[in-house]
């Protein structure tokens, strides 16, 4: 499907994180990190023109010298604040006081720092915040790092409400919420945790989170022996939280000599939750569909707030959008960036999709309305077209036979 989209070059600004504070207001985070490249680490605020898919710079906040680039970012719809992961300077990190979790507000079109918290226990500058996610009511904030721990903080005060959860194996990559659960994404499993109630959570920072369910990697038939599978991202459907989508990348075994390299296939897995009964049937997550959606590893993933569309970017630098119900292709933009995308997000009303890359570029994509475009999510338009075609054939038959 064709749609309006624009690539915006942002010289000397590799982008690693982004989020919308409103339908047309975008926050970007990026920079050169702690390297001595001369590229400064910044947060930027832009206004987005929905029709023209243009960007207008509103404000820029430069981080202190020696601090790391923002690597992850999540926004709130209620206050317009956003939280992001930014490592402190090497000296502060090595002293064990890394204020890695930062909260900023936007006041009179200015990015303003508000609060900080330490969630990374390590004094190594190699560890950084990789995951930032708000709960549905925006009263909790999940913060995960490359040490494979995820901390659950109350918001806005950033006080711990439980002991950190450490994934038992693999690397931590993502997190998402339902009203009563936190899903933690590790490469070797999805971990569903129970959330503390607002009353139980007060003053109970030493209480561990309850592990309710571990979802293991599904088996994929037809893969070469020795192929490794790893979860990369997962999201609940915002409108139907009993539906869970997960991205799984594959790594084929190394080939010897001049043998042709195998594709690194990526899969989209869809689970549905079935509530248990009071008798003998337990609650369960059932894998209902697994689909190969890319021949290259997927790097970023998002679900639209209206629950109708799924978007992903892969290491072939493309951006793709799928129908959330049927998993059928809806929109594809090839060669969206020169480097693989590092961040991807729908705006709150699901009318825009923005991707970013370390090649110092951002692509703004206008998302067509599935109804107006003739591709109603769920396949209803296809059914109508088929019925119309059948009726047309029958009418032609009756006319030719003289019955009409």
The per-residue b/e assignment along 60-69, b for 16 or more CB within 10 angstroms, e otherwise, is ebebeeebbb
Return the ∠ at Cα 62 (arms to 57 and 67), rounded to 5°. 145
pLDDT band at residue 389 under the 50/70/90 scheme = low
**Residue 373 has what pLDDT?**
62
Rounded distance between C-alpha atoms, residue 180 and residue 11, angstroms: 43
The domain defined by 5-374 folds into Methylamine Dehydrogenase; Chain H (2.130.10)
pLDDT per residue as tens digits for the range 358-376: 999 999 999 998 766 655 4
**Paired tokens of 297:** 């590893």
Query: Which parts of 237-315 are beta strand (E)?
Result: 243-251, 266-274, 284-294, 298-303, 309-314
pLDDT band at residue 197 under the 50/70/90 scheme = confident
Q: Which of 313-317, 329-333, 388-392 has the lowest mean pLDDT?
A: 388-392
* Percent of the chain residues past pLDDT 70, beyond the cut: 87
pLDDT, mean over the chain: 91
**Residue 385 has what pLDDT?**
43
Which residues on adjacent β-strands are paired with residue 44?
28, 60
Asked whether the whole model's pTM tops 0.85, one would answer yes
Rounded distance between C-alpha atoms, residue 315 and residue 357, angstroms: 11
Alpha helical stretches, state H, 54-155: 90-94
Domain boundaries, the chain: 5-374, 375-404
Region 36-65: mean pLDDT is 96
Phi first, then psi: give them for residue 251, nearest 5 degrees.
-125, 105
pLDDT per residue as tens digits for the range 169-186: 999 999 999 999 999 999
**Residue 90 has what pLDDT?**
96
């Amino acid at each position: 499907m064709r749609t309006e989209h624009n690539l915006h070059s942002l010289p000397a600004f590799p982008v690693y994180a982004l989020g919308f504070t409103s339908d047309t207001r975008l926050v970007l985070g990026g920079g050169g990190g702690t390297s001595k490249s001369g590229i400064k680490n910044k947060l930027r605020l832009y206004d987005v023109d929905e029709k023209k898919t243009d960007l207008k710079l509103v404000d820029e906040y430069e981080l202190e010298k020696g601090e790391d680039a923002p690597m992850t970012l999540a926004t709130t719809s209620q206050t317009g604040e956003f939280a992001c992961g930014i490592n402190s300077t090497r000296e502060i990190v090595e002293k064990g006081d890394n204020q890695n979790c930062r909260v900023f507000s936007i006041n009179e079109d200015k990015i303003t720092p508000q609060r900080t918290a330490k969630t990374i226990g390590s004094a190594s500058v190699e560890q950084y915040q990789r995951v930032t996610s708000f709960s549905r009511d925006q009263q909790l904030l999940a913060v995960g790092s490359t040490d494979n721990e995820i901390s659950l903080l109350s918001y806005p005060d950033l006080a711990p409400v439980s002991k950190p959860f450490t994934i038992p194996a693999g690397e931590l990559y993502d997190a998402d919420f339902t009203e009563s659960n936190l899903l933690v994404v590790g490469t070797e499993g999805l971990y569903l945790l129970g959330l503390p109630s607002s009353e139980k959570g007060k003053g109970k920072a030493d209480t561990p989170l309850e592990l309710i369910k571990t979802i293991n990697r599904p088996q994929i038939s037809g893969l070469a022996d020795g192929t490794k599978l790893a979860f990369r991202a997962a999201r609940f459907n915002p409108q139907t939280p009993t539906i869970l989508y997960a991205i799984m990348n594959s790594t084929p075994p190394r080939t010897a000599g001049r043998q042709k390299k195998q594709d690194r296939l990526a899969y989209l897995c869809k689970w549905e939750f079935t509530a248990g009964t009071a008798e003998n049937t337990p609650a369960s997550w059932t894998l209902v569909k697994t689909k190969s959606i890319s021949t290259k590893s997927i790097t970023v993933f998002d679900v639209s707030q209206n629950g109708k569309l799924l978007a992903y970017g892969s290491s072939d630098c493309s951006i793709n959008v799928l129908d959330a119900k049927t998993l059928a292709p809806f929109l594809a933009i090839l060669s969206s960036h020169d480097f693989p995308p590092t961040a991807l997000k729908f705006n709150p009303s699901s009318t825009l999709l923005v991707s970013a890359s370390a090649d110092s570029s951002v692509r703004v994509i206008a998302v067509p309305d599935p109804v107006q475009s003739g591709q109603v999510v769920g396949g209803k338009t296809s059914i109508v077209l088929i019925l119309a075609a059948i009726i047309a054939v029958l009418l032609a038959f009756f006319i030719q036979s003289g019955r009409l």
